[in-house]
Structure 1
Amino acid sequence: MRTTKFGAVALMLVCATPAFAEAPAKEKEVWVSIGTDALETARSSFKTQGQELGTVAREKDGVAVLRVRESQLEKLSKVMHDKLNRCAGFITHDTEEQALAAVESSVAAQPVASLISYTIDNATATNSLMSAVTESNIRSTITTLSTSWTSRRYNLQSGIDAATWLKNRWTTLASGRSDISVANFTHPTTTSPQPSVILTIQGTSLPNEVVVLGAHLDSINGSGSSSSAPGADDDASGVAALTEVIRVAVAKGYKPARTVKFMAYAAEEIGLRGSGAIAANYKSTGVNVVGVLQLDMINYRGSSYDIVLVTDYTNAAQNTFLRNLITRYLPGVTTTNTTCGYGCSDHASWHNRGYAASIPFEALLGQDNPYIHTANDTLTQTAGSAQNSVKFVKLAAAYVAELAKGTTSVALQAEDAESSR
């Protein structure tokens, strides 16, 4: 090959460049805790893709800890979904210390449960909230979240924008109520650029006792970060449920005795990062959370049962309370149980820190929405309807009214009428 003078100089510069270039930055590594029942499946799937998972650093009571590259979290999430029908299915930790602590407390004690008496005696307020729930409002929120952005992925601008929209939406709903506040829970950008969003209704007589209702804001497509992830069922449906309970609470003038917090978590899909950070913060600062309800996938009816309660990594006493609420306020709604495995959804973040948590789910595990984590997780899969979500939203409203107690304007009017007789 003939080379000109300038070509030779250019060639010399090209060849010399690597000697002066910086070494590529080492990819960030994180620690994950994962159920040992899922570990072999995950290893086998990674091996077929020419990758290896790290060695186990600690194992106890069916939970293992290992270090992985951050880029492997998405692959791990896909394996857990495709092979084991689990959403998440592992918990991500920034340090080895945090991961090892999670193993030690993987089957947490339930000290909070003994402080709560699960009574069902607030029917006026409960029925007032439940009666105002509408399918159209739930559907509207699902539609906005699943169509306004290609993805709500935790580390994309669209995921951040979705969080901004939700904070503004909740702020608008709460306007005029000085006892309601809305704020972002900001995570380190290395953990999740997307913030979690929290709306708080201050309790009137027991403000230091806190009831939490949660759902996750982020979405994911197992094919990659550039693929569409509408996440209509997983988990726009859960966020829409929270939004509807907030709407009816404001519309009915509901004032809880206990403080109620509605949380839209960031970064659930890559290891419960948002809820994990919040639960850890509340634990370390001594926030007295007396109950947690998680709503993750509620709009697809894959089983003959209406509501399926997850029994592992949840609180048995609170699960019984939910069943009693269904019997009392949702007659004809059928229920059964299922198990979901370690780190199945954000309830695990609370459970592993000793809080009483429950998750009513749309179907038996393995019969749930097969389109999640794909571009096809849209309202089309439920014929454009949010009707299946309605019973879950009503259950969530009953949970709030009967656990946080308190009154609605309707309840106060009824009491005034009774006392004037």
Structure 2
Amino acid sequence: MGTTKFAAVALWLACTTPAFAGAPDKEVWITIGTDALEPARASFRGRGQELPAVAREKDGVAMLRVRESQLEQLAEVMHSKLNRCAGFIAHETEEQALTAVEARNTAQAVEPRITYTIDNATTANALLSGVQESYIRSTITSLSTKWTSRRHNLQSGKDAANWLKTQWATLANGRSDVTVELFTHASTVTPQPSVILTIKGTTLPNEVVVLGGHLDSINGSSSSASAPGADDDASGVASLTEVIRVAMAKGYKPARTVKFMAYAAEEVGLKGSGAIAAQHKSTGVNVVGVLQLDMTNYRGSSYDIVLVSDYTSAAQNTFLSNLIKTYLPGVTSTTTRCGYGCSDHASWYNQGFAASIPFEALMGQDNPYIHTSSDTLMQSAGSAQNSVKFVKLAAAYVAELAKGKTSTSLQPADADTGR
């Protein structure tokens, strides 16, 4: 996510050479904000290319068919020409793209499935008290340095997913109510699996709370260039990992089922989260709330936490704002607009689930180094301190949305995760 994240898509659209040498350059459908079309067209013309004609347009969203090799380049144009997170969503079929266009696109369209209450302070404070910057920093360091890139179609992207699965399974410490699995995507979607850790709810197991971030990284200049992705989005995955670590250390057992997800292939049109959200919708899973953490460790604005107001749930955003006031005294917050399809929360929103994304800065003031080889932890002075407040907000979100309790009788020692 961020102003550079979608830069990759525009570059793809401008390129006549397939992104992956020797691979079939199939056509895919995308949906994109209509306000981004003309600037993108102008940029493509400057490269001697034409953006394909719009096949359908409604409520500020357009669908068109492009080559798969063009996706990353479209993202690059979004960043370099629009300096914003306008975004796009890739779809496997025309029918899926049409469904996305026809979806209601106002923040009021997604109604909450539960009543939001803040009455579980004992559990929330227990979780918040366990958060430590050093663990977050360790995970960011591992994800951003163990591989040159976590790009979705490279072996290193798959290796990163397997590594994270091992870390989460180690943290789970053999708890019978916790499972960790790889979500293997169709070959037409991405070779990179997503990673999902599930804590089964004690009294309301059929109501599900989802927290996610994306595992892949990208460099907008080249598919072979270094893409450490420390902020985008190792910081989000590390934040989720710290919530998991604290929950396990405190013996937390939620009333509602909680799922932590590290999505594959976000950078190329929200592919991983799109498949997962669609599956949850088609199988009738009652997802009562979704929180996305995409870039948490760069302080670009004077505000501590910025809530994205468009393509998110207005009611859940208010709930998050109240959580900040209740559990994060002194932390300032405001709102910003991010544009269509700007991160994985949009996949859930488009399926009718309440989704929100607390972000690190106002749009345009976020980390300028993402999608480059310079997206390293050093851009945050080698510290994960900025992520701490996002971890605490996520922990409060879990405690107050999934409810449940911690237990002093279940306090496994901090697992040696090998980070």
Q: Partners in 2 of 1:124 and 1:341 — Cα distance?
A: 37
SS at match of 1:409: coil
Residues 202-213 of structure 1 mapped to structure 2, 5 A cutoff: 202-213=200-211
Corresponding residue to 1:287 among 285, 288, 294: 285
The answer for the alignment partner of 1:107 in structure 2 is: 105
The answer for the alignment partner of 1:321 in structure 2 is: 319
Q: Partners in 2 of 1:410 and 1:130 — Cα distance?
A: 15
1:68 corresponds to which letter in structure 2? V
Q: Partners in 2 of 1:81 and 1:347 — Cα distance?
A: 20
Q: What CA deviation, in whole Å up to 9, does each residue of 1:134-158 have, x standing for no partner?
A: 0000000000000000000000001
The answer for the alignment partner of 2:218 in structure 1 is: 220
Residues 152-171 of structure 1 mapped to structure 2, 5 A cutoff: 152-171=150-169
The answer for the alignment partner of 1:251 in structure 2 is: 249
Corresponding residue to 1:134 among 132, 135, 143: 132
The answer for the alignment partner of 1:392 in structure 2 is: 390
Corresponding residue to 2:56 among 52, 55, 58: 58
- Contact kept? 1:124, 1:411, Cα under 8 Å: no
For residue 213 of structure 1, report the CA deviation from its aligned partner: 0.2
Q: Partners in 2 of 1:276 and 1:403 — Cα distance?
A: 23
Higher alpha-carbon Rg: 1
1:363 paired with 2:361, answer: yes
SS at match of 2:320: helix
- Contact kept? 1:112, 1:290, Cα under 8 Å: no
For residue 113 of structure 1, report the CA deviation from its aligned partner: 3.8
The answer for the alignment partner of 1:76 in structure 2 is: 74
For residue 282 of structure 1, report the CA deviation from its aligned partner: 0.4
- Contact kept? 2:89, 2:341, Cα under 8 Å: yes
The answer for the alignment partner of 2:19 in structure 1 is: none
Structure 1: segments with no counterpart, 5+ residues: 1-23, 414-421
The answer for the alignment partner of 1:346 in structure 2 is: 344
1:408 paired with 2:410, answer: no
- Contact kept? 1:160, 1:194, Cα under 8 Å: yes
For residue 42 of structure 1, report the CA deviation from its aligned partner: 1.4
The answer for the alignment partner of 2:118 in structure 1 is: 120
The answer for the alignment partner of 1:333 in structure 2 is: 331
2:99 corresponds to which letter in structure 1? A
Q: What CA deviation, in whole Å up to 9, does each residue of 1:158-195 have, x standing for no partner?
A: 10000000011101111221000001111112211001
1:408 corresponds to which letter in structure 2? T
For residue 37 of structure 1, report the CA deviation from its aligned partner: 0.5
Q: Partners in 2 of 1:112 and 1:364 — Cα distance?
A: 24
- Contact kept? 2:28, 2:67, Cα under 8 Å: yes
The answer for the alignment partner of 1:189 in structure 2 is: 187
1:310 paired with 2:300, answer: no
2:280 corresponds to which letter in structure 1? Y
Deviates more, 1:259-268 or 1:181-190: 181-190
Q: Which runs of 4+ in 1 moved over 2 A?
A: 24-27, 81-88, 108-115, 410-413
- Contact kept? 1:108, 1:351, Cα under 8 Å: no
Q: Partners in 2 of 1:111 and 1:221 — Cα distance?
A: 35
For residue 215 of structure 1, report the CA deviation from its aligned partner: 0.1
Deviates more, 1:87-96 or 1:31-40: 87-96
2:403 corresponds to which letter in structure 1? K
2:337 corresponds to which letter in structure 1? T
Corresponding residue to 1:48 among 46, 49, 57: 46
- Contact kept? 1:110, 1:356, Cα under 8 Å: no
2:352 corresponds to which letter in structure 1? G
Q: Partners in 2 of 1:136 and 1:26 — Cα distance?
A: 44
For residue 88 of structure 1, report the CA deviation from its aligned partner: 7.0
For residue 81 of structure 1, report the CA deviation from its aligned partner: 2.2
- Contact kept? 2:182, 2:196, Cα under 8 Å: yes
Aligned residues between the structures: 390
Q: What CA deviation, in whole Å up to 9, does each residue of 1:317-366 have, x standing for no partner?
A: 10010011010100100001100000010000011111000000000000
- Contact kept? 1:272, 1:345, Cα under 8 Å: yes
The answer for the alignment partner of 1:21 in structure 2 is: none
Q: What CA deviation, in whole Å up to 9, does each residue of 1:3-56 have, x standing for no partner?
A: xxxxxxxxxxxxxxxxxxxxx986200000000001111111122222222110
Q: Partners in 2 of 1:110 and 1:202 — Cα distance?
A: 30
Q: What is the percentage of aligned positions where both structures have the same residue?
A: 78
SS at match of 2:275: helix
Q: Please, what TM-score do these two structures have when normalized by structure 1?
A: 0.90
For residue 99 of structure 1, report the CA deviation from its aligned partner: 0.5
Q: Partners in 1 of 2:297 and 2:335 — Cα distance?
A: 18
Q: Partners in 2 of 1:205 and 1:260 — Cα distance?
A: 12
Corresponding residue to 2:199 among 190, 198, 201: 201
Q: Would you tell me which structure has more helix in proportion to its own residues?
A: 1
Is the alpha carbon distance of 1:255 and 1:334 closer, same or farther for their aligned partners in structure 2, counting shifts above 3 Å? same
SS at match of 2:210: strand
- Contact kept? 2:36, 2:86, Cα under 8 Å: no
Q: Partners in 2 of 1:233 and 1:381 — Cα distance?
A: 9
SS at match of 1:71: helix
1:148 paired with 2:146, answer: yes
1:247 corresponds to which letter in structure 2? R
Corresponding residue to 2:370 among 365, 369, 372: 372
Q: Partners in 2 of 1:305 and 1:238 — Cα distance?
A: 18
Is the alpha carbon distance of 1:213 and 1:353 closer, same or farther for their aligned partners in structure 2, counting shifts above 3 Å? same
Corresponding residue to 1:237 among 219, 235, 239: 235
The answer for the alignment partner of 1:18 in structure 2 is: none
Q: Partners in 2 of 1:200 and 1:355 — Cα distance?
A: 18
1:391 corresponds to which letter in structure 2? K
Residues 88-99 of structure 1 mapped to structure 2, 5 A cutoff: 89-99=87-97
SS at match of 2:71: helix
Is the alpha carbon distance of 1:411 and 1:320 closer, same or farther for their aligned partners in structure 2, counting shifts above 3 Å? farther
- Contact kept? 1:254, 1:407, Cα under 8 Å: yes
